Structure 1
Amino acid sequence: MQSFDQLDDELDQWAAAGRSVSVWWRDDDAAAATPQLTRLVGAARRHRLPLAIAAVPATMQPDLVAALSAPGISVLQHGYAHKNHAAAGKRAVECGGERPTQEVLAELGEGMRILMREFGASFLPILVPPWNRIDPAVAAALPQQGYFGLSSFGPRYYQGQGGGGSTEDAALVLPPRFAAINAHLDLLSWKGGATFAGAEKLIALFAERLADRRLGRTDPDEPFGILTHHLDHDEATWSFLERLLGRVGSHPAIRFQPITTLLTESPVR
């Protein structure tokens, strides 16, 4: 069984300095009450940790509402239909691509209305772009569309370093006072299809990315996001997730937060 020593050592340095890091958990691609989703929600309840679920509005089934009714679950918007609109040969993107910006925004607005109607107060108007990619023009218009923030992947904008959204869009800078609450550790590797990224690699990446915060290479106040995709987990991924949640849920240098708290506490940039 893989040791967490490298991560523990890094967290101990945070604790020794009297500092703590906010950690949150996002899961993508929810559309129905599958056995995998039930297993995921069960893990959150067992570890008593909050969970943010990115739901796909255009393809969601009626049973998803009851499946996500447990306390501690927030629902985010995962694009509209998780459909690729990139030109041939380009990287997959739904929130942009070969369509006019207004067409993309109109579609996203319809998705927001669906989720608001179905989930009520459990829904937060935070956009999670499929494939963690979004065109800058679409991102810039999100506040006017009623969104509170964007959740992508990678370090957010920090004194000219990194991006406000995705590692795929390193130059993306979000509007002022618009929250960037990103994920930073994906349990899966996507080259050649979804596979478990491996315990040793994930532990090292977690420690390294926390060290970047502690040393000021990235925003030291940025919450750290764990990213899962319940539909694509194999048994190795599920097993590692259980061990990771138990570890981070108990270390004194970690404050495991619901995204509702991060939205009000976390500085944007």
Structure 2
Amino acid sequence: MSTQPWQDLRDELDQWAENGRIAHFWWRDDDAVKPGPLLERLAETAAGAPVSLAVIPAQADPLLQDALDRHPSFSVIQHGYAHQSHAGPGEKKCEFPESRDAEAMLTDLQKGRERLAALFGPRFRPALAPPWNRIADSLPAKLDRAGLSGLSTYRRANRPPGPRCWIDTHCDIIAWRTTRGFIGDAGAFALVTEHLRARRKGEAIDEPTGVMTHHIVHDEACWTFLRQFAALVAVHPAAAWCDPFSDLAAA
């Protein structure tokens, strides 16, 4: 493995340290529905780092609640409702597209929120991570009607009016359009370092740098990267993990 991508991140974090700042990271894992060995491996790999588990409400196995009791650093956010595309002709896959009736979307989101709140109690954060990271521009401003006060998409620069807590992810470690495996150290660390540098220079929204994973499809290279990345964040004095939606739990 080339050490350069790792060194670039270390150098950037050193810049944060010289400025007397802490670079906060967060970890979002999508498509969770049930317990099992892969979820346990995710917890082992995180090694105590907080993980925001994006759970699909309509598919959530009640046994997932018992599994998460063993992992107090895990929280739950809402991953759509059924992870079913309602995209119209010419639209990319999307559960909540502009072409869909707004009331139908809000009804699904409210049902999903109620189910996750009932299953996971205070572990649940009323924040939405829409499937495929897509959502109609008109919907974020209405999420409070479904009881949702947080939103997370992927590297969205132009954000329409939305909830008070909109925190994106910035590094998707899966190469969905090609191998559907790990994007590689160079690609992953370029995304992380780019966002950190933009934050430090005031050229990006100052929000925690988000790493997005999908534990149910990881190859070995994904797991290796995540283990090493978590270790680096744990030891660097200018790096720290956070649960970005923790304040929503008591809202």
**If the TM-score is normalised by the length of the shorter chain, which range does it land in?**
over 0.9
* SS class of match (2:138): helix
Partner of 1:30: 32
Partner of 1:153: 154
Q: TM-score, normalised on structure 1?
A: 0.86
Residues 97 and 135, structure 1, Cα contact 8 Å, conserved in 2: yes
Q: Does 1:195 align with 2:181?
A: yes
Matched ranges for 1:1-269 at <5 A:
1-3=1-3, 4-44=6-46, 47-69=47-69, 70-155=71-156, 162-164=157-159, 172-175=160-163, 178-192=164-178, 194-219=180-205, 221-261=206-246
Q: Deviations over 1:1-55 (max 9, x none)?
A: 23111100111111111112211111000011132112102222xx221111000
- Count residues with an aligned counterpart: 246
Q: 1:263 to 1:224 in 2, by over 3 A?
A: farther
Q: How far off its partner does 1:263 sit?
A: 5.5
Q: How far off its partner does 1:194 sit?
A: 2.2
Q: 1:263 to 1:106 in 2, by over 3 A?
A: closer
Q: How far off its partner does 1:147 sit?
A: 1.0
* SS class of match (1:188): coil
* SS class of match (1:24): strand
CA–CA separation in structure 2 for the residues paired with 1:128 and 1:17: 32
Residues 74 and 259, structure 1, Cα contact 8 Å, conserved in 2: no
Q: TM-score, normalised on structure 2?
A: 0.92
Q: Which amino acid aligns with 2:211?
A: I
Unpaired segments of 5 or more residues in structure 1?
156-161, 165-171, 265-269
Aligned Cα RMSD in Å?
A: 1.7
Q: 1:99 to 1:261 in 2, by over 3 A?
A: closer
Identity of aligned residues (%): 40
Residues 54 and 78, structure 1, Cα contact 8 Å, conserved in 2: yes
Unpaired segments of 5 or more residues in structure 2?
none
Q: 1:54 to 1:203 in 2, by over 3 A?
A: same
